[in-house]
Structure 1
Amino acid sequence: MFRSRPFRIRENAERGREFLEKAMEFVADQPCNPLGRVSGALSSFRVDVMDVGSRYEVFAELPGFRKDQITVSYDADCCLTIKAERPDPEMEVRYLCRERRVGSFERSFEVDDIVEKDVTVAYENGVLHIVLPKIREEDNRTVFDID
């Protein structure tokens, strides 16, 4: 089964507070029409997930990231996590327009019954592609020859 893992405020209270603070700072820094830009600041990266019979395929849009800024992990709770981090450039400048986001971006999905050792991850042209092979259900039947 493959399903998106929702943001849990109780488990992520500190992260949620930091996220809200960053969003409020972003709104305050906008010279014009800040409310129109808030939705873009709060949304995470986009993901497509396909069930292709023997495997799941995940495509995540992560333009502008380098491979070393992206982490894909799978834990004992059957949680696939994609995390991308873009550091804030250490320059003292006054932005006239700033639409490119910095910081940490993360999506998590519950995925069970996959063959972990056969998972493949590739990143090309700003798209992360993850292939998660499913565990094949063994046929536990015995077939008898007919005389």
Structure 2
Amino acid sequence: MATRFDPFHEIDRMLTALSTSSRDAAVMPIDLQRETDHYVLSMDLPGVDPGSIDISVEDRILTIRAERTAPSAEADWLVRERPSGTFARQLTLGQGLALDQISASYADGVLSLTIPVSEQAKPRRIEVAHTTSPSQIGAGASTAGETASTG
């Protein structure tokens, strides 16, 4: 009987074991996009009880915590790849955001945060007023003065 030697099999097995460890429970994938006057942060939290989601902002640090309860420990597990426990993610927010106006919603396992851009940070157009330059005003005054003295 011939056996095939696969040097990567053991490495693959170890990486698979690491990816399902409790360290992986802290990972919460996000998408972040900017729309015209706000940012939208979407975070995958499937199976999380919405009542366990806690969102706070302190010193420009946005903290999101959520918990997925563990299934019955008495079961005879054949495969257990879905992490359970507390998930946490912190993001440092930059200047120019209206932190007091952040809103959140949770639907279909996705947490969505809307983070508005503050009024001071929004782009704005500055109108340019057309005025006569000071050199033209002085030239016009001396011409008027000459006309007055000759007439």
Q: Give the aligned residue type for 1:93.
A: A
User: Equivalent residue of 1:37, what SS?
Assistant: helix
The count of aligned residue pairs is 114
Task: Pick one of 86, 91, 95 that aligns with 1:104.
Answer: 86
Alignment map for 1:1-147 (pairs within 5 Å):
33-41=13-21, 42-43=23-24, 44-75=27-58, 77-89=59-71, 91-112=73-94, 113-137=96-120
Distance 2:103 2:30 in 1: 17
Larger of the two Rg values belongs to structure: 2
User: Equivalent residue of 2:65, what SS?
Assistant: strand
TM-score (norm 2): 0.63
Structure 2 gap ranges (5+): 1-12, 133-151
Q: Residues 41 and 113 of structure 2 are in contact (CA less than 8 Å); yes or no, is this contact kept in structure 1?
A: yes
- Name the Cα RMSD after superposition: 2.8
Structure 1 gap ranges (5+): 1-32
Percent identity of paired positions between Structure 1 and Structure 2? 27
Structure 1 runs of 4+ aligned residues shifted over 4 Å read 141-147
Query: Which structure shows the higher helix fraction?
Result: 2
Shift in Å, 1:91: 4.0
Shift in Å, 1:90: 5.5
Higher relative contact order, chain-length normalized (CA < 8 Å, sep 6+): 1
TM-score (norm 1): 0.64
